[in-house]
Structure 1
Amino acid sequence: MGDKELPPRVALASRPLGILGSALTARRNVLELIPELALRQPMVSGRLGIRWHMVMDPAALRRVLKDRVEDYPKSDVTRLILEPAIGDSLFVAEGTQWRWQRLAAAPAFAARNVEALAPVMTAAAEASAARIAAAEQPFDAYAEMVAATFDVISDVTFSGDEGFDREAVHLAIDRYIASTGRVSLLDVLGAPPWVPRPGRLVSGGALRRTKLLADRAIAERARRGPRVPPDLLDLLRAGVDPETGRAMNPAELRDNLLTFIVAGHETTALTLSWALYLCAFDPAVQARGAAEAQAAGPRIGAAQLPRLPYIQQIVQEALRLYPPAAFLSRTARRADMLGGREIRPGDTVMLPIYALHRHRLLWDNPDAFDPDRFAPGVERDRFAFLPFGGGPRICIGANFALQEAAIILATLLARFDFARVPGAVPRPRMILTLRPDGGVWLRASARPALLESPPPVC
């Protein structure tokens, strides 16, 4: 299996980069900061303006994300990048501010409510299939998956016609990520948050307009009352902290809804883009997934998911090879020991999920595409696979994303055979999320329908 072609990988650092080299590398591709050594060691530490530690050991990751989560808040860099867009919402809040919002939002993401949103996902999947069938070939699967998942998140967030300009919001968010998501030299040097980062001072206009659009939609919903069935906005408006009875005010609603819009379509679109590329990369995997999807159809919804185990394995393997949130960071609040190493207050603790998912001590042939790693009965350490994080701060929308990805992937594989375009290889590149630089260019041809019953034996 060692000679088998492997899907595209990031070229990790083979030598120390220095301060300027690290800053330039981070602006190009954050993952190139990871030393190749991180694929073979449980921890790698160094000093670069600030003391830093990269953690790939599941036991140490469990300590950071679960056992002592309060001692490892999200890093200053994370807050600097995201707070202007999503305020002190669930993704960046800490302590009691995070806890009450999580409790208030939890019912909106309960299994029954996520399942009730499946028809929106099915409709978006079928609309995507219609666009692919009508598109010139080859087509950019990444652009198409962004469109499909934005249809889903906007429909389940602000359903109906409430003057919510979805295209304007989509463009504003994309521009914000492009202009502010890059790590600056000041970030690498550990400059305090109050020191201005010039590249982040020019992105406020589109963001302010986006917040204004969301505020208007929330006010209009308050005037008209909830929809039937309720959408995500209604569910969040109804949510309260069971311990205090506190509910979200309009600004908190807006910031959390923008959080879910940003995270809820970008990450799932990336997962689906890479999954489609990987299926085109390995025709045998694609054929097996397509047969399963056709047998479960003709229309894929929540009820069909139990009949789609292999489709869900493909999604999980895509998340392993190309996790959208491929590089996380925390700032140590108190002294600690991780993996036998001293951690001091103020140290940056990096969680390179990309390296964790390809670690030589945790995965067999880790750079290969193999959905059977996630077959029923295959055991692994819970903290060796962290596409949605772990512990109490695990992504609240994980089940939503997995359901959406399975419905859309199954719908598309049932209808099309996807093939790679020679010379068009997507390059994994992380700025804020792990994107396929250059797009995911594929050819789609109609797949013959599955026979209703086997042909007679003559």
Structure 2
Amino acid sequence: MSLFFLALHAVAVLLVVLLVVLLVVLLVALLGFCVYLKYVHMKYDHIPGPPRERTEAYGSVYRINVLHHVRVYTTSPEATKEILMSPKYPKDHVLYGRMFSLFGQRFVGNGLVLARDHKLGYKQRRIIDPPFSSLYLRSMMGTFNERAEGLSTKLSDIADRKGEADVLPMMNFVTLDVIAKVAFGMDFEQENTWFFPKAIETCLKGTLISVRSTFFQLYPKNWAFVKEVREACKLLRSTGAQWIHNRKVAMESGADVPKDILTQIIKAASKEESMTKEDQEVMLDNFVTFFIAGQETTANQLAFCIMELARHPDILDKAKEEVDDVIGMKRDISYDDLGKLVYLSQVLKETLRLYPTAPGTSRDLPNDIIIDGVHVPAGAGIVFSSYMCGRMAKFFKDPLEFNPERFHPDAPKPYYCYFPFSLGPRSCIGKNLAEMEAKVVMAKILQRFDFTLTPDQSFDILDVGTLRPKGGVVCSIRHRKDRA
């Protein structure tokens, strides 16, 4: 019996020793991390670090420390030009790495937007570029008109009963419908796809949390939402897998298929000697990427545009007058008509100046650099905010005033301080599509409807990774009196 107690005592002593050793190791690791943290912070301490809202007071370069990660923000046009226009600077491994997957479930992976390596990004861009050519987009004018006409029908129903509506969800649906047809040849009116907008919104919320809160999923109270995000990711990717399979079958059978993004992705994959599991995943990465990027941002731009036009009746009247002159009572807007809607283009650009729906981008800094006289050591993430630049008085006079004349064809062009679609070799491939779509939808709305904001309309902005009107945009919708 005494031997038993001796053995038990020995085990207890061993456990205590192991616990002490473990605590010492953890303490040493913690101290080591603190020393490393101090080293990183000292490396960048010469760069000022302001509260986020006070960028103008701290100059064109400042830093924010997030544990051992340092974010250097700059509003310098020269640095913006140097870094964004060059392939030498890869996308920020911290920020973009967090969007590869959400809480362990693959999300946009190595798709075109997130591919950090320039060669991989360039390869994907070259593959996907044909559906974004002006020739292809011209051929899709019928789709733009058709989808915008569907939105007009819904607005007309509201106007008939002299009702009110939040236009943000309506913009979400029409842009989702357009990207589905233009990029993937799918018709949401005929597909059971009611779940898509909700899944996209859930994933965007999850993305923002994943980027900003490292330990979010460790807390039990958050597990239900974490599960919801994972399921939304799975849903988007499984839907993509089914659509890709269906298109492959159609192509192999010799059916006539559209020359859209989906076809290009499959054709490029078929040229590979062998398709790996990762190749299959990248196809799904791009499926999800284009749905998110092609739907969410344009919908928010349209909602913000309606909000600002409703706040500025003189600008609204001028935009309607131009639409009347160019389009009149025509049902279908032509590609040539778009080029004549000059003032409407100015309105849409001014909307993106104040509300860049993709508010910024960031790059890794592989080498030391001097920005406006400030030495920035290698290893930092460099952040460029179109939102901040667009609201700075040194770039735009009376920056908070909504003034489309800033973008008059004869006005001076903003010098590397306006980049809602980013810049350089990694700029948004869908820029032309987004601009055409937004112009067709807004022209149709201005052609037929008057809208006024409800008295309690909020003008707050919600950041969910993209910027959107926090309370939606609730309007009274009426048929235009002069068209009655």
Fold in common (TM above 0.5) = yes
Q: What is the deviation of 1:259? A: 0.7
Out of 204, 211, 214, the position equivalent to 2:237 is: 211
Please state if 1:37 is matched with 2:60.
no
Residues 448/229 of structure 1: CA separation in 2 closer, same or farther (3 Å cut)? farther
Out of 132, 142, 154, the position equivalent to 1:109 is: 132
SS of alignment partner, residue 416 of structure 2 = helix
SS of alignment partner, residue 181 of structure 1 = helix
Q: Give 1:59-70 correspondences, 5 Å limit.
A: 59-67=78-86, 69-70=87-88
Residue identity in the other structure for 2:431: A
Q: What is the deviation of 1:40? A: 7.4
Residue identity in the other structure for 1:132: L
Distance 2:116 2:459 in 1: 36
Q: Tell whether the 8 Å contact from 2:176 to 2:295 is kept in structure 1 after alignment.
A: yes
SS of alignment partner, residue 99 of structure 2 = helix
Q: Tell whether the 8 Å contact from 1:290 to 1:414 is kept in structure 2 after alignment.
A: yes
Residue in 2 aligned with 1:121?
A: 144
Q: What is the deviation of 1:211? A: 1.0
Residue in 1 aligned with 2:41?
A: none
Residue identity in the other structure for 2:298: T
Residues 422/186 of structure 1: CA separation in 2 closer, same or farther (3 Å cut)? closer
Q: Tell whether the 8 Å contact from 2:307 to 2:453 is kept in structure 1 after alignment.
A: yes
Q: Tell whether the 8 Å contact from 2:363 to 2:383 is kept in structure 1 after alignment.
A: yes
Q: Tell whether the 8 Å contact from 1:416 to 1:447 is kept in structure 2 after alignment.
A: yes
Please state if 1:360 is matched with 2:389.
no
Residue in 2 aligned with 1:86?
A: 108
SS of alignment partner, residue 85 of structure 2 = helix
Q: What is the deviation of 1:121? A: 1.2
Residue in 1 aligned with 2:294?
A: 264
Residue in 2 aligned with 1:178?
A: 205
Please state if 1:285 is matched with 2:315.
yes
Output the TM-score relative to the length of structure 2: 0.78
Residue identity in the other structure for 1:148: V
Moved more, 323-332 or 123-132: 323-332
Please state if 1:342 is matched with 2:371.
no
Residue identity in the other structure for 1:53: V
Q: What is the deviation of 1:74? A: 2.5
Q: What is the deviation of 1:103? A: 1.2
Output the TM-score relative to the length of structure 1: 0.82
Please state if 1:253 is matched with 2:283.
yes
Structure number with higher relative contact order (C-alpha < 8 Å, ≥ 6 residues apart): 1
Q: Tell whether the 8 Å contact from 1:164 to 1:214 is kept in structure 2 after alignment.
A: no
**Matched pairs, number:** 412
Residue in 2 aligned with 1:155?
A: 181
Residues 407/239 of structure 1: CA separation in 2 closer, same or farther (3 Å cut)? farther
Residue in 2 aligned with 1:168?
A: 195
Q: Tell whether the 8 Å contact from 1:103 to 1:241 is kept in structure 2 after alignment.
A: no
Q: Tell whether the 8 Å contact from 2:131 to 2:259 is kept in structure 1 after alignment.
A: no
SS of alignment partner, residue 383 of structure 1 = coil
Distance 1:72 1:336 in 2: 15
Q: Which string of whole-angstrom CA distances, capped at 9 and with x for unpartnered residues, describes residues 6-55 of structure 1? A: xxxxxxxxxxxxxxxxxxxxxxxxxx962323377322234342333211
Moved more, 163-172 or 343-352: 163-172
Q: What is the deviation of 1:81? A: 2.6
Residue identity in the other structure for 2:175: T
Distance 1:311 1:87 in 2: 36
Residue in 1 aligned with 2:11?
A: none
Q: Tell whether the 8 Å contact from 1:357 to 1:363 is kept in structure 2 after alignment.
A: yes
Please state if 1:434 is matched with 2:467.
yes
SS of alignment partner, residue 435 of structure 2 = helix
Q: Tell whether the 8 Å contact from 1:157 to 1:257 is kept in structure 2 after alignment.
A: no
Distance 1:366 1:161 in 2: 41
Q: Which string of whole-angstrom CA distances, capped at 9 and with x for unpartnered residues, describes residues 166-195 of structure 1? A: 3223322211112332256655xxx9xxx9
Q: Tell whether the 8 Å contact from 1:34 to 1:352 is kept in structure 2 after alignment.
A: no
Q: Tell whether the 8 Å contact from 1:164 to 1:213 is kept in structure 2 after alignment.
A: no
SS of alignment partner, residue 91 of structure 2 = coil
Residues 110/78 of structure 1: CA separation in 2 closer, same or farther (3 Å cut)? same
Residue identity in the other structure for 2:399: P
Residue in 2 aligned with 1:383?
A: 416
CA-atom RMSD, angstroms? 2.9
Q: Tell whether the 8 Å contact from 1:165 to 1:213 is kept in structure 2 after alignment.
A: no
Q: Which string of whole-angstrom CA distances, capped at 9 and with x for unpartnered residues, describes residues 268-319 of structure 1? A: 0011000011110101111111121122222323231022111111110101
SS of alignment partner, residue 170 of structure 1 = helix
SS of alignment partner, residue 167 of structure 1 = coil
Distance 1:146 1:437 in 2: 14
Residue in 2 aligned with 1:237?
A: 266
Out of 153, 157, 165, the position equivalent to 1:130 is: 153
Residue identity in the other structure for 1:357: G
Structure 1: which 5+ residue stretches go unaligned? 1-31, 452-458
Identity %: 23
Q: Tell whether the 8 Å contact from 2:181 to 2:187 is kept in structure 1 after alignment.
A: no
Distance 1:449 1:234 in 2: 45
Moved more, 105-114 or 265-274: 105-114
Residue in 2 aligned with 1:425?
A: 458
Which of the two has greater helix per residue? 2
Q: What is the deviation of 1:249? A: 4.8
Distance 1:400 1:246 in 2: 32
Distance 1:185 1:232 in 2: 32
Please state if 1:415 is matched with 2:448.
yes
Q: Tell whether the 8 Å contact from 2:90 to 2:116 is kept in structure 1 after alignment.
A: no
SS of alignment partner, residue 129 of structure 2 = helix
Residue in 2 aligned with 1:223?
A: 249
Residue in 2 aligned with 1:295?
A: 325
Structure 2: which 5+ residue stretches go unaligned? 1-49
Q: What is the deviation of 1:154? A: 1.3
Q: Tell whether the 8 Å contact from 1:317 to 1:370 is kept in structure 2 after alignment.
A: yes
Q: What is the deviation of 1:444? A: 1.6
Q: What is the deviation of 1:131? A: 0.5
Distance 1:241 1:361 in 2: 51
